Amino acid sequence: MRFAVRGLRLLGAVILGALTAPLDLAFVLVALPFASRPGVRAAARRLAVLETRRLGLDLALPARDAGNALSYLAARTPVGVLGGLVAALLGYGTAMAVALAWSWGRGVPMDGMLPSPPLVAYLGLSGLVLLFLALSGLVGVDALERRLAVRMLAPDPTEALRHRITELTESRAGVLAAVDSERRRIERDLHDGLQQRLVALSMLAGRARRGRSELLEQVHEQAQQALAELREVAWRAYPSGLDSLGLADALAGVAERAGIPVKVTCELSARPPAAVETAAYFVVSEAVTNADKHSRADLVTVEVREHDRRDRMVIVRVQDDGVGGADTASGGLSGLARRVAALDGRFTVTSPHGGPTTIVAELPCE
């Protein structure tokens, strides 16, 4: 079934490429005298991006390389026409086979021929050979279009490697900054919250020892609150339940501890890697905390799903119905962006004034 779906997608991509090939050629012929104008180059770039998306490629053509787009659109025209011819041949052969089967099935001769064992064997073998050639042609045209797009639109390998090194350097610096920020937050939580509560607890215990037995209830209450704050700080540092319970149960714990209603949907076919689970947990935890503190929301919806089981991409989506206007440069959100970037993921925040605020993290599992 999966191969049939992929085959239909490939056939659709080749047919669509055959339909757009004449349009691309017409655009090139009209735009060629004005190729130096920014508007024409931008339009050529948009057409080239659409063609790469048709092929399922994500080349992220830079704006400065838009001049290559016109050359690519011109070069892909004969390949698109070839794909159209192969698809037409496949369609013609299929139509002839259906017509032949329909006529012979009713006992009606086709072109004066009635079925006989030698004739059926000859036509069946010829049809299988032509079907194999047509399918091979479709696969070949698709591969040729992909290679042409990568050759003409992809950045230079040396430049791509340099860009990748820059990205890794920036993500490493971002991870270090995020770790330092998290350490400072934990120290602040311990100093401003738990430490002061323990000092108060010590003073109450000392007064209770001097005969103030009525203070024992306050001592017990302060001890319970200190334990609760200690657990909260520990969960912020690393949710220990994530290892034993899994992501779904850990997110359910986030929903239970939140000050506003949180609806969690976690649909994963298998447990992702530990780093992905941790990043997904902190994205949800920070987003829910921000919604509780700043958004005045009545409901937060959390969805964790797989984008594609083959590519193993986990999509985390958190949306609240609050007032919007979230500051993407704030420490919490910028830290999440760095954490996701360290995994080669994507992190986006959409928060118009008036809401809703939507946070999406795309986390690759490989």
* Tens of pLDDT, residues 110-165: 777 777 888 888 888 888 888 898 889 899 999 999 898 888 887 666 766 777 77
Number of domains comprising the chain: 3
Residues 28 and 80: their CA atoms lie apart, in Å, by 15
Select from 107, 135, 155 the last residue of a domain.
155
Alpha helices in 238-273 (DSSP H): 241-245, 247-257
310 pLDDT above the threshold of 60: no
pLDDT at position 101 is 85
301 pLDDT above the threshold of 90: yes
> Which residues form the domain of 73?
2-155
Residues 261 and 316: their CA atoms lie apart, in Å, by 18
Select from 175, 205, 237 the last residue of a domain.
237
| Same domain as 331, residue 201 | no
| Same domain as 275, residue 144 | no
What is the tens place of the pLDDT at every residue in 11-32?
Answer: 888 899 889 989 988 888 888 8
357 strand-pairing partners = 320
Residues 148 and 124: their CA atoms lie apart, in Å, by 36
| Same domain as 247, residue 330 | yes
In which band, very low, low, confident or very high, does the pLDDT at 318 lie, cut at 50, 70 and 90?
very high
364 strand-pairing partners = 313
| Residue 37 CB coordination number (10 Å) | 11
Cβ atoms of 272 and 363 closer than 8 Å: yes
Select from 155, 171, 193 the last residue of a domain.
155
CA-CA distances (angstroms) from residue 226 to 131, 185, 217, 223, 257?
A: 74, 17, 14, 5, 16
Q: To the nearest whole percent, how much of the chain has pLDDT over 90?
A: 12
262 pLDDT above the threshold of 60: yes
276 pLDDT above the threshold of 80: yes
pLDDT at position 190 is 63
Secondary structure of residue 113 in the 3-state scheme: strand
pLDDT at position 156 is 67
